[in-house]
Amino acid sequence: DSLTAVATAQPYPFAFPRGRTALVIIDMQRDFVEAGGFGEALGNDVRPLADLVPNVKRLLEGCRTAGIAVVHTREAHKPDLSDCPPAKRLRGNSDLRIGDEGPMGRILIAGEPGNAIVDELAPIAGEIVIDKPGKGAFYATGLSEILGRLGTTHLLFAGVTTEVCVQTTMREANDRGFECLLVEDATESYFPAFKQSTLDMIRAQGAIVGWTATIDEVLAALQ
């Protein structure tokens, strides 16, 4: 019917009922995208992620126009770190760890300047914002219940980083019965090879985790 959109996608076309589909934008926060944040503290060059912002903006605006529900996530811990396992805090070989004071405030802490979603992609009224302590957005959050209340069955994924928080969330969603599509040019990694591998492994074996498509393919389906 006219309410179901069909996008050209890999490994085969992705049909999604508009009213039951949500765009999930993972962790487009200053911590990962700007210098002085968590991503750079881990030793990464953040420029490829900064370059992604206009692409995600185009997808976001297209989905808003089409009336698709929007969920934004942030990787965020409570100021007392009660939701940050020591194993997570101690990982990596950076001087600057989760909870430490950095140039944009305390690293990966809710409410700090660095934890904000970048201005270009700021949530608007009616959009859902999820603070998540893990890499996956379903772990220790209310996301399952929120999507259940909305009647959501299909998810479009964007954001960073492809093989860490995006892929983890997509696998969590797949196991929960959602039909999932990763938007190829609306996600980025600090490691180009990892991004490519993620796209390949998600859509392999007849979409074992889900589909992939470009922004143009998704937006064309919503025309």
| Closer of 20 and 135 to ligand TIU (Cβ) | 135
27 is catalytic: yes
| Closer of 46 and 70 to ligand TIU (Cβ) | 46
Handedness of CA 169, 170, 175, 176 (dihedral sign): positive
| Given the residues 63, 84, 165, 180, the one annotated as active site | 165
Residue 94 beta carbon to ligand TIU: minimum distance, rounded to whole angstroms: 11
Which residues of the shown chain bind ligand TIU in the complex (CB under 6 A)?
A: 27, 32, 42, 75, 135, 160-161, 164-165, 190
63 is catalytic: no
| Closer of 147 and 160 to ligand TIU (Cβ) | 160
| Closer of 121 and 160 to ligand TIU (Cβ) | 160
165 is catalytic: yes
Residue 117 beta carbon to ligand TIU: minimum distance, rounded to whole angstroms: 12
Residue 42 beta carbon to ligand TIU: minimum distance, rounded to whole angstroms: 5
| Given the residues 31, 132, 180, 185, the one annotated as active site | 132
Catalytic residues: 27, 132, 165
